[in-house]
Amino acid sequence: MTILVTGAAGFIGYHVANALLMRGERVVGIDNFDPYYSVALKRDRIAELARHNAFSLEEMDISVPEAVEALVSRYGDAAATIHLAAQPGVRTAELNPYSYIAANLAGQLTVLEVARRLKGLRHTVYATTSAVYGASPHRPFSLDDRADQPISLYGATKRGAEMIAASYAAQYGLALTGLRFFTVYGPWGRPDMATWKFTDAIAHGAPLTLYDDGNMTRSFTYIDDIVAGVLAALDRVPSEGAHKLYNLGNDKSESVRRYLAVLEQAIGRKAVISVEPRHKADMQDTVADISVTERELGWRPRVDIDEGLPRFVEWYRDYTKGK
């Protein structure tokens, strides 16, 4: 079947699109190649996907209304959409807040408008984030938590996207599933995230910034586990008018300090560390309650950081060789 994947040039989008192609689906990747981070890296991901005959690319900005007409007119046979395009980054939202509103809210609206107009579309799965939990005092983060105290604009826009989805499911009878991702890492990852930044700094003997002396904890989740969860959600189509939410994250948290230590061991070199206070948009701790996800999707993470981080380092060395 034909599946639309927005953000296909992104980290998670690339891996999801590749997994769909490997299982025999036709994939239409949609991306605008936003320069928030390396466009060359995004092009390299797309080049890997283009090795498959069943992959095609639509280079467009889904935050503009014209995208609705373009997608509806060209892909009337689409059976599902996986919406992974977003403006990421918790700390950088203060630098260009309007881009977060456009990508994360207007982009969500475009995808839902396409969903309600494509009569053969059975299911829309979209990415949201653990950042929606914000200042919630509860640990682990549960789907029962109100998620109405985001401490970052990024988290607020993604929570807003969830509410828009709930309204469209109720009003138009759409089958929608939102997946709250928790700190995803792995090969082909984003260079603005800690895994790549730490690895690059250690490899070059450059100083790296460790916020709060590495005492923050995160529900680090390996990309292969995330992909397995996305596909499990895609294949479990809710009833018409249902809006489902699931946590996709590790139910065991790790401190950033230990995360760094595992990277140091994998690289074979100690980090040069500069300590700074925790950024006001950063959450102190995240850990996922995945009881509902495990019960309904049969999913739980399998790769811990002791296995996943060396895999990233191996990929990083191969990718950056000669660059």
Q: So which residues are the catalytic ones?
A: 154
Maximum separation of any 2 CA atoms in the chain, in Å: 56
**78-83 and 123-129: which strand pairing?**
parallel
Q: Are 158 and 170 in contact, with CB atoms under 8 Å apart?
A: no
Sheet holding 2-6, edge to edge: 55-59, 26-31, 2-6, 78-83, 123-129, 176-181, 243-248
Buried b (16+ CB within 10 A) or exposed e, 278-315: eeebbbeebbbbbeebeeebebebebbbeebbebbbee
Q: Which of these, 101, 154, 102, 106, lies nearest to 129 by C-alpha position? A: 154
Q: Output DSSP code: residue 249.
A: S
Chain centre to alpha carbon of residue 208: 24
Instruction: Determine contact, residues 85/33, Cβ cutoff 8 Å.
Output: no
Q: For the beta carbon of residue 171, count every other beta carbon within 10 angstroms.
A: 11
DSSP 85-102: -----SSGGGT-HHHHHI
Q: Which helix (H) or strand (E) holds 139?
A: none
In the block, tokens 């701790």 appear at 285
| Secondary structure class of 150 (helix, strand, coil) | coil
